[in-house]
Amino acid sequence: MANEVLMPKLSSTMDVGTITTWLKNEGDSVEIGEAIFEVMTDKIAIEVEAYDEGILLKKYIGDGDSALVNSVIAYIGEAGEDVPAEMPGAETEAAEEAPAEETTATAEPAKETTVATTKVRATPAARRIAREKGIDLQQVQGTGPKGRIQALDVKQYQEKPVAAAPAQKAAEGELIPWSGMRKAIADKMSESKHTIPHVTMNAEVDLTKVIELRKQLLPMVEERTDERLSFLEIIAKAAMVALKAYPEFNANAYEDGIRRFEHVNLGVAVAVADGLVVPVVEQADQKGLSDLTAAVKAVTKKARDGQLMPAEMSGGTFTISSLGRSKVQTFNPIINLPEVAILGVGGSYDKLVVENTPEGPQVATITALNLCLSFDHRVADGAPAAAFLSMIVDLLENPMSLLL
C-alpha cells in the first residue's frame, strides 16, 4: 500500500506550508532519510526527509504551491501502485467552497426550468488565495492536470497588469512574484507594522571607552572562545543589564495580555542571501561577555550557512538589529512579533566634539553610533522607553560596570 507524504508542521504557529522546490520528481526512487522537498515557513526553508522508501508515485502540489499542515501532498510506494488522481480532501473542499449554482423551477408552469451547474477544479491553496484576493476562479485558466487551477495560476492572474489607457505607454520592467523567504518576511513585517503602534527613539553613544575596553578584552575572549569580541556583543550585554531594570521591554504582547519573562532570550537579526532571519540566544542575560560572544557567533554562522531549525528562531523576548559597518547612522527597526521592543544599532562614524581640558576647550574626534529603540506603545510609554535607552547609553559610555 502506498504511503502518504504529509505537509509537516515545523513550528507551533505554522498552519500552512509552501513548497519552495521539489528535490524529487514523480517516478524517482526515494530512500528513507533522503530529502524529497523543501518547505518554507517562518522565514526559513527546511529540507524534509522521507519516512518511507520506494518510488515517488504522485505529487499533488508543485513548486510555489501551499497546503495545510498534515494534508497529503504526495505518495511514495511501489511502481504501478494505484494512488488517488486528485489530492485527498481537495474534492470535499471544492464541494464546500464552490457549491453548484442551481435555479429551481418556480410555481409558474409556463416558464421553463433551468438548471446550471458550475464546478471549478482547483487546489486548496488556489482557493485560499482566491478567497483572500477576491478573485473569481472561473476567470482563471488552470495549468494543472485536467485543467486544475494551481496556486501559481491564481498568483499570476492576480499579477496581470491592468490594461493602460490607449494614450498611455505601458511601463516596462520585470515583475518578480512574491515567493519563499521574501514572501514570509513581507507578511510578517506587514503584520507587525499594521498591528503595533511603533514609536522609535534615537540616542547617540560615545564609543571611546567601549573601544578601549574591547582592546583589553579582545585577546582574553579570543583565547577562551576562538571568536573575536565585537561591539555587537558589548551592546547586547548592556541591553541585557538594562532589561533587568526595565522588564516591561523583555516581554511578548498577545490579544489577552502581556507576558513578561524572567530571563532574556535574545534575537539577533542576521542578513542572509534571500532576506533576514532572527536566531535566538536563550538566556542571554545569564552569559558573560565571552559566553555571549560565542553564542552570538554560533547562531550567526548557522544562519548564514542555512542550518537553523525553526525552534532556533522562536521564543525570543527582545531583538537587536545591527547594521554593522554600514554608512547608515539611524533607522526605524520593525518589532519582531510578538515581542514589544527592538534595538537598532547604526553604523559608527567620526564626530567632532569640544572637550574641556585644563588648558581650556579643545576640539577632538570621537567614534560614535546611534541606538534606535522601537517599542510597542500599547505596552510602554515614552518616559520608561527613554529611561531604558538612556541606561543603555550610560552603560556603554562607562562599560567597566558591565564586568561587575
d(CA 321, CA 298): 16
Write down the H helix ranges in 226-345.
231-245, 289-304
Of 218, 287, 234, nearest in space to 393 by CA:
234
Grid coordinates representing 288?
558573560
Of the candidates 15, 28, 82, 381, the residue annotated as catalytic is 381
- DSSP three-state, residue 193: helix
Q: Name the phi and psi angles at 199, rounded to 5.
A: -130, 135
Grid coordinates representing 36?
524529497
d(CA 246, CA 25): 54
Q: Report CA 259 to chain centroid distance, whole Å.
A: 21
**Rounded to the nearest 5 degrees, what angle is found at the Cα of 274, between the Cα atoms of 273 and 278?**
90
Q: Report CA 400 to chain centroid distance, whole Å.
A: 36
Contacts of 356 (CB under 8 A, 6+ apart): 362
Of the candidates 63, 206, 377, 394, the residue annotated as catalytic is 377
Neighbours of 117 (CB within 10 A): 8
Contacts of 336 (CB under 8 A, 6+ apart): 192, 267, 269, 278, 316, 319, 342
Contacts of 303 (CB under 8 A, 6+ apart): 270, 272, 277, 279
Q: Name the phi and psi angles at 179, rounded to 5.
A: -160, 160
Q: Name the phi and psi angles at 135, rounded to 5.
A: -100, 135
Asked if 377 is an active-site residue, the reply is: yes
Q: Are 11 and 5 in contact (CB under 8 A)?
A: no
d(CA 398, CA 402): 8
Q: Are 209 and 281 in contact (CB under 8 A)?
A: no
Burial of 256 (0-12, 13-18, 19+ CB in 10 A): exposed
Catalytic residues: 377, 381
